[in-house]
């Protein structure tokens, strides 16, 4: 079951990221659940909106070597701020600077969790604490 306000959030994500040049996935078009990808040649950034809560999965993939980082972004009422940060960074996020982008997001949203670098599937995700 979708959370209250899901349709409005979906429309906001669709409108904002489409205007910024992100590509909507086929699965997203068929299901009406926001999933978008941006590829700047160095980093492929993707987002997937969860249906049950105000959060999305943010995945950053290093195009050159295939390494990746995943984050669960619990944006609460900060969807516009989150989308603005993603749009600003889309053309220059890289393996060298993605932590700066993540820090900006952490300052704007209620909570962001990072998938652990090592461990099994039961290892809890780590809360990202914003740096000043």
Percent of the chain past pLDDT 90, that is, above it, reads 92
Annotated domain spans of the chain: 6-115
Q: pLDDT for 40-82, tens place per residue?
A: 999 999 999 999 999 999 999 999 999 999 999 999 999 999 9
Q: Which of 36-45, 77-86, 88-97, 112-121 has the lowest mean pLDDT?
A: 112-121
Torsion of CA 74, 22, 14, 125, to 10 degrees: -20
Closest CA to 56 of 131, 130, 3: 3
Rounded to two decimals, the pTM is 0.95
Contact 22, 34 (CB under 8 A): no
Q: pLDDT for 8-51, tens place per residue?
A: 999 999 999 999 999 999 999 999 999 999 999 999 999 999 99
């Amino acid at each position: 079951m979708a959370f209250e306000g899901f349709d409005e959030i979906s429309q906001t994500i669709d409108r904002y990221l489409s205007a910024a040049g992100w590509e909507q996935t086929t699965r997203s078009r068929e299901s009406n659940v926001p999933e978008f990808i941006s590829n700047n040649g160095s980093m492929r950034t993707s987002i997937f909106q969860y249906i049950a809560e105000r959060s999305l999965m943010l995945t950053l993939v290093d195009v050159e070597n295939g390494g990746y980082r995943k984050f669960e972004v619990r944006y609460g009422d900060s969807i516009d701020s989150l989308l603005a940060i993603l749009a600003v960074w889309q053309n220059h996020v890289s393996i060298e600077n993605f932590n700066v982008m993540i820090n900006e997001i952490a300052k704007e949203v209620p909570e962001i969790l990072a998938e652990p670098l090592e461990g099994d599937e039961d290892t809890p995700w780590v809360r990202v604490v914003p740096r000043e």
